[in-house]
Amino acid sequence: MRNPIRHPHKDLPTEKADEESLVKDGRSIELQKISDENTADASLTAQAHSLCAHDHDVHFKEGDSPLKVVALMIIFGDGLHNFLDGISIGASFSESITSGLSISLAVIFEEFPHELGDIAILISAGMSIKQALIYNLLSAMSCYIGFGIGVFFGNLDENIEPVIFALAAGMFLYISISCMMPDMKLAMDDGLQVSLRSGLEIFVLQIVGVFTGLSLMYFMAVHGEKLTNLIIQ
């Protein structure tokens, strides 16, 4: 009885198919890794509310070039934001101490959580805590430049003050509507995923915070002049 002759070339298509399958799997894994990296970069970029920046030879972690760009965007954008804050504060103080205190109070409450968030992003981008604090402080120095310009133009012409206040009001409205309100909703949604009670607690805290800010602004608007007279006396 003859043994069947096995032809090696018949196994070639199977081996070729296996090789193609391995190549496809490798490409799929590669694409998945790229997609994951892009998603991580995009999520960090979404936290940056600012635009562009100059490089000052900051030492970042290896392989963090997209995060480095985000960090520099934050530094420059925060500097521009602080500059506009300074202009509005300077113009308001040139009008009256009451207006200056009101605007300063609003800026303090808005900037405190904002600056903490910026420092957190800079640290996650590869900066050390010391570097993040120094660069954040440097960007905050632009507020003093803006303050001087605001006082100068506020005293130069009274007609400029409404324009400056309109720009400041638009900036605060933009921050509250485009940045803070979505974050408030996201925090409440995260709380609701844990439990209904947790979501309601977050909602109540948010409402208390909003009404506290409104109450402080109302107090400064109504009783600010009396408070100023007491300080002067």
pLDDT tens readout for residues 163-206 = 888 887 787 788 778 877 888 888 899 999 999 999 999 999 99
Distance CA 50, CA 80 (A): 8
Q: What is the pLDDT of residue 204?
A: 94
Residues 121 and 186 sit within 8 Å (Cβ to Cβ): no
Helix or strand holding residue 91 (H, E): helix 65-95
Mean pLDDT, the chain, integer: 74
pLDDT tens readout for residues 35-68 = 555 444 444 444 444 433 333 444 444 554 566 6
Q: Is the pTM of this model over 0.95?
A: no
Q: Which two tokens stand for residue 179?
A: 């940045």
pLDDT confidence band for 75 (50 / 70 / 90): confident
Residues 188 and 58 sit within 8 Å (Cβ to Cβ): no
- Residue 207 DSSP class: H
Sign, Cα dihedral of 167, 169, 170, 175: positive
Q: DSSP 3-state assignment of 226?
A: helix
Distance CA 161, CA 99 (A): 11
The full set of domain ranges for the chain reads 45-179
Q: DSSP 3-state assignment of 86?
A: helix
112 φ, ψ (degrees, to nearest 5) = -60, -55
Q: What is the pLDDT of residue 52?
A: 37
